[in-house]
Every structure is written in structure tokens, then in C-alpha cells.
Homo-oligomer: A and B are copies of this chain.
Amino acid sequence: MTIANPSTSDDLGSAAQRERRKRILDATYDLAKSGGFDAVQMRAVAERADVALGTLYRYFPSKIHLLVSALGRQFDEASARLGEREIPGDTQAERVLYVLKRMARGMQGDPKLTEALTRAFMFADSSVTNEIHVVGMAMTSIVTHAMHGGVPDEGALTDEDVAIARVIGDVWLSALVAWVTGRSTAAETAAHMETAVGLILRD
């Protein structure tokens, strides 16, 4: 018996499988967008994606895997969009804040979606390492890209740059959780990020 795992194996399977996978992620996205974490119910996802429950679980072994995969797709897209353009701002801090604010705006426009994806990310255990890694890389790449002003000069990426980007990503994540769970407002979150970036990126 071949053990196929369409969600993590490198080869993406047949066209029909790729199509199913996309339908599932789209359904997840829609449900998350309209009702948040709680609305992403496995039976509902399966029904909307027009697959059986068992099939859904074959593609994504848990609700968390499913949501984190959807988050990964989001971040990849955001990262690609931002990668195309120059980032305005004269200092690293300004550019990073520009990008973070931009992302924050996007997320605030879809609070339910953001809540669902963030919750899943925070709840993920080690079985979701691969999917998490995708998100972490995208986050780091977004921040380093902003630090370097949007010029794709990858040679200039030092270890310290990456370390800094990871620290900023950490603060961003904590702030996001606080916002998503209603413990802080969007304005407080923005102010907090300014403080943090100001501290970390003193030029």
C-alpha cells in the first residue's frame, strides 16, 4: 500500500487532487473569513468543498493543519506581492513599519479570518512543523525585504539581519494574538509595534 499524503508530500499528485486541495483551502478560507475559527468546522469545510469528511482528513490530518496551511498560502501571496515592489522609507525602521502597517491593515479588514488563522498558528504542535515553517519563512522574508529597502540584493542578508527579523516577527506575533483575542485595540497594537521596531532597529 502506498501511503499518499497529498498535503505534505513534495509531489502534488494528480490534477484532480490538486483541484480538490484547492477547493478545500478555498472553503476553509471562506468559512474563516465569515465566521472565524469556530465557523471552520470540518463537516462544513467538507460539504462546501464537496468532498467526504474522510477525504478532508486524508488531505489535512487536523483542523489545525488545515488552517495553518491556509495561513501559509496567504503569507506566500502577501510575501510575493510585497517582493515585487520597492518599500518606501529612509531608514530600516521606517520601511519595516511601513510593511507591518500595511499587513496590519489587510488583517484588520478581515478580522475573523485573521482570528482563525492566528489561533490555529498558536495552537499548532510539533506535527505541524512543516506548515509552520512556511509561515515563519514568509514572515522573515517580508521583514528582511523591508529592511533592505525592497531591492532584491540577497547577498546582503546577514545572520544578524535574520535574527533581527525573527525578533520583530515574534513581537508582531504576540501583538497579533493580543489584538485577535480582543485584549488590545488596533491602535494599541500599532503603537506597540512602533515602540518595538524603534527599539530594535536603532540605526
Which residues of A are interface residues toward B (Cβ below 8 A)?
119, 122-126, 128-129, 132-133, 163-164, 166-167, 169-171, 173-175, 177, 181-183, 192, 195-196, 199-200, 202
Contact = CB atoms under 8 A, between A and B. Distances in A.
A126 B183 contact: yes
Contact of A171 (B129, B132, B171, B195): B171
Contact of A181 (B124, B170, B174, B192): B124
A192 B202 CA distance: 19
Contact of A123 (B122, B129, B167, B195): B122
Contact of A167 (B125, B183, B195): B195
A1 B52 CA distance: 48
A199 B196 contact: no
27 contacts: A119-B123, A122-B123, A123-B123, A125-B182, A126-B183, A129-B182, A132-B181, A132-B183, A133-B183, A163-B199, A166-B192, A167-B192, A167-B195, A167-B196, A167-B199, A169-B174, A170-B170, A170-B171, A170-B173, A170-B174, A170-B196, A171-B174, A173-B174, A199-B199, A199-B200, A200-B200, A202-B202
Given A122-B177, A169-B174, 12 more contacts: A122-B123, A128-B181, A129-B183, A132-B183, A167-B195, A167-B196, A167-B199, A170-B175, A170-B196, A173-B174, A174-B174, A200-B200
A129 B167 CA distance: 25
A165 to B, nearest CB: 11
